Structure 1
Amino acid sequence: MDCGFKNDKEWFRYRAAAIIIEDGCVLMASNELASYYYSVGGGVHLHETAKAAVKREVLEETGMVYEIDRLAFIHENFFMDDTVALGVPCHEVALYYLMKPKGTKELNSNSFTQGVRENMSWLPIENLSQYTIFPTFFKERLRNIPNYPENIITLEYEK
């Protein structure tokens, strides 16, 4: 069970996500329900650490085992969800872990979300401004990832 709650008026989730970079490209996911790319990762389960969750999610989505390098970003995200929670305000706390590169872009992905197959894509970091991606801060912050965890707050709405 994921750490979070959803009702007809709001949604909260605790998420662990990966930043996987190979050869100047970052791995992003997409699916036919969404018109954008999103980070690899997902909900942290009850009684699961964020580190264990990101490793589990990466394996589930890519079919590959990646090791964690370090925590890069803590993202407090306030947005209107149009896919899972259908137009309700979402408050998400996400921990973004930089993963150790493997030296290859080969994946063994067979991931599904909400019953729809996920597609994994390697997007060039220098061209991220050309894509609709979430989190949006990736477009700037992945060019120079800090050596310490950075707290980022995104306010798409205010309650």
Structure 2
Amino acid sequence: MNNREIKEYNCGFTNDNKWFRYRAAAIIVEDGYVLFAGNEKEDYYYSIGGAVHMGETAEDAVRREVLEETGVAYEVDHLAVIHENFFNENQGGLKGLDCHEIALYFMMKSRGTRELNSNSYTQGVKESMYWLPIDQLDEYRAFPTFMKKYLQAEHHGVEHIVFDERTNQ
């Protein structure tokens, strides 16, 4: 590796059966729809975003992830949610792990269009972008589960949401 090449390290680690990740995610809303991603390996939709790299701010990470996944350079409006998420994964690369994720969710500025230029892959699998109607989100298996309730309420400041799948709270 020469001096110009920089290896990117995600902020996260695995220790025995415990997995931790620091993630930056986007809330992208256009005309009553919120943007989620999905792929042919998973049976659910997930928020746009990904791991923050060492030395990278969460805001820079969310801009990078949104551009990588949607092909569009959305602007950050504001930090909306700090989400502490505890879950046990039963499929994929995290199967059998006790997972702990801290995610900062940023509200992105509306562009007035749902047109995207996505050509995203995750772990070698093509990702697709899905505009899901906010008022029907409970009809989809979409994570994070707080999204519908959050988007249908008025907010002042940053929300702190803790969800523990292990205790269903």
- Tell me the TM-score normalised to structure 1 length: 0.96
Aligned to 2:155: 146
For residues 79-94 of structure 1, what are the structure 2 equivalents within 5 Å?
A: 79-81=87-89, 82-94=91-103
Q: Distance in 1 between matches of 2:132 and 2:113?
A: 14
Aligned to 1:59: 67
For residues 6-155 of structure 1, what are the structure 2 equivalents within 5 Å?
A: 6-81=14-89, 82-155=91-164
Cα deviation code 1:26-72 (max 9, x no counterpart):
00000011100000000000000000000000000000000011111
Between the aligned residues of both structures, percent identity stands at 59
Structure 1 segments unaligned to the other structure (5+ residues) = none
Please, what is the CA RMSD of the aligned residues?
1.1
Residue identity in the other structure for 1:47: G
Q: Quick check: 1:63–1:110 contact (8 Å CA) kept in 2?
A: yes
- Tell me the TM-score normalised to structure 2 length: 0.90
Aligned to 2:6: none
Q: Distance in 2 between matches of 1:139 and 1:83?
A: 26
> Size of the alignment, in residue pairs?
158
Cα deviation code 1:98-117 (max 9, x no counterpart):
00000111100000001100
Structure 2 segments unaligned to the other structure (5+ residues) = 1-8
SS in 2 for 1:84: helix
Higher mean alpha-carbon deviation, 83-92 vs 54-63, is at 83-92
In the TM superposition, residue 145 of structure 1 has moved relative to its aligned partner by 4.8
Q: Distance in 2 between matches of 1:87 and 1:133?
A: 21
Q: Distance in 2 between matches of 1:62 and 1:87?
A: 30
User: Computing the radius of gyration over CA atoms, which structure comes out larger, 1 or 2?
Assistant: 2
Q: Quick check: 1:6–1:85 contact (8 Å CA) kept in 2?
A: no
Q: Distance in 2 between matches of 1:147 and 1:67?
A: 20
Q: Quick check: 1:72–1:147 contact (8 Å CA) kept in 2?
A: no
Aligned to 2:10: 2
In the TM superposition, residue 147 of structure 1 has moved relative to its aligned partner by 2.5
Q: Distance in 2 between matches of 1:67 and 1:84?
A: 31
Residue identity in the other structure for 2:124: G
